[in-house]
A and B are shown apart, each in its own frame.
Chain A
Amino acid sequence: MLQVRALRCARGGVPVLDGVSFDVKAGEALILRGPNGVGKTTLLRTLAGLQPALDGTVEYPGATGAYASHADGIKTALTVTENLTFWAQVYGRDVPGSVYAAFDLDALRTRAAGTLSAGQKRRLGLARLGVIGRSVLFLDEPTVSLDGFSVRMFADWMRDVHLAGGGCAVIATHIDLGLDAPALDLTPYVAQPDADGGADEAFL
């Protein structure tokens, strides 16, 4: 479903990763690992199309990708339902009723998002993934500020709803989600300091 071939990507004009290649099939997830600064966020942003790749190809069916980062894009002045409805409408869909239960938001529906705790906000941010109906997800540290219970809840949704429904995901995370998914360590792909394509290349 997702094919990445010989991808080279840069952060701030400096190549950080080079030669990244992998496949993710429908119903599978891939966990990205590596120390801080190795380029996990850069890779995910490149996969999602937010920044151009220096070289290589990324292929997945059109209009199926979605990106989620530490910043949830939650509007604090809107209620939980309003936040989710907005994203559903942007993607031309309805909010499935099951999503509230899946992310334990049932009791919070009419609360303004600004009054939620950090973990609750995070669950709301993840619930967005449940309403937009995209099958190829690029998730950057989805479990930050979640407690163990919520992490399992997210992993259950990922396994039983998203992957079982034929979706796939690339997830950068430091913790064990409890998913039966292969991990890809990015350390071997760190770009050589003189890799082609950097912004300063012409001046060196």
Chain B
Amino acid sequence: MIALLRRDLALAVRAGGGFGLGLAFFLIVVVLVPFGVGPDRSTLTLIAPGILWVAALLAALLSLDRIFALDFEDGSLALLATAPLPLEGIALIKALAHWITTGLPLTLVAPALGFFLNMAPDAYGYLLVSLALGTPALSMIGSFGAALTVGLRRGGLLLSLLVLPLYVPTLIFGAEAVRRGVDGTGATAPLMLMGAITLGCFALLPFASAAVLRINLR
């Protein structure tokens, strides 16, 4: 399992791995927002946490289809499925690798981008914590969607359609935590709920992913 994680990380950072594209996308979306809503600083302060959450979510979405599709095409997935590793473990590790290469860097650069959006000083900590807690769930849910659409030739668009509704609870609790943290109504409840979703996803979704991978490999 560690070997698989190391291989996926190595593949992501080498040439053609696409590492950094998600980050660049994140940056561009955030830069475009003030062009869309105007440069008024108080408006930007108001919407900054929400924009950062939505942009992070979309950036994570971009690289989802690579999680299983590349391994499916070159045959590694069939070989891995017949290897001694449980397919559930493979699904979990792949989601984890996706988080390390997208969710984690997004979380780390989000505060820097908050600076561009004139985010409230109190919001930085909450944003960091909520993204750190929430982005693993995005990767896990996304890898389930990727497993569903792995056998389809034009799965990318369908993948977004399937995954985005599943992202709703995580997004709501994530952005709500920052909002409540800033206005002082207590970020603990949304953070706990989001943590529960993340843990639940990691506990249960690998089984669903493995089940649909088996169906798709059949």
Contacts and interface: CB of A to CB of B under 8 A. Distances in A.
Direct contact between A and B in the complex (CB less than 8 angstroms)?
yes
Nearest to B85: A90
B125 interface: no
Contacts of B4: 86, 90
Interface stretch (A69-77, A98-106, A144-152): A69-77
B172 to A, nearest CB: 38
A73 B76 contact: yes
B46 interface: no
B84 A92 contact: yes
A72 B3 contact: no
Most A CB atoms within 10 A — which of B76, B81, B85?
Answer: B76
B75 A90 contact: no
Interface stretch (B9-17, B106-114, B138-146): B9-17
A65 interface: yes
A69 B72 CA distance: 13
A77 B16 contact: yes
B74 A49 contact: no
Contacts of A51: 217-218
A82 interface: yes
Contacts, number: 70
Nearest to A128: B79
B132 interface: no
B3 A86 contact: yes
Interface in A64-119: 65-78, 82, 85-87, 89-92
A48 interface: yes
A73 B71 CA distance: 7
* Interface size, A (range): 20 to 34
B83 A75 contact: no
Contacts of A70: 75
A202 interface: no
A78 B7 contact: yes
A89 B3 contact: yes
A50 interface: yes
Interface residues of B, number: 26
B91 to A, nearest CB: 15
Interface string B178-195: 000000000000000000
Interface in B47-99: 71, 73-85
Contact of A74 (B74, B82, B84): B74
Nearest to B77: A73
Most A CB atoms within 10 A — which of B7, B16, B79, B85?
Answer: B79
Contacts of B80: 73, 90
B73 to A, nearest CB: 8
Given A50-B217, A75-B11, A78-B11, A90 B78 contact: no
Interface string B1-44: 01110010011001111000000000000000000000000000
Contact of A67 (B2, B3, B78, B84): B78
Interface string B127-152: 00000000000000000000000000
Contacts of B82: 48-50, 65-67
Interface string A120-153: 0000000010001000000000000000000000
A63 interface: yes
B74 A73 contact: yes
Contacts of A69: 75, 78
10 contacts: A49-B82, A65-B82, A71-B78, A73-B79, A76-B16, A77-B11, A78-B11, A86-B3, A87-B79, A90-B4
The 6 closest A-B pairs by CB, nearest first: A71-B75, A89-B3, A73-B76, A77-B14, A73-B75, A73-B79
Given A67-B78, A69-B78, A82-B10, 9 more contacts: A71-B74, A73-B74, A75-B11, A76-B16, A85-B3, A87-B79, A89-B3, A90-B80, A90-B84
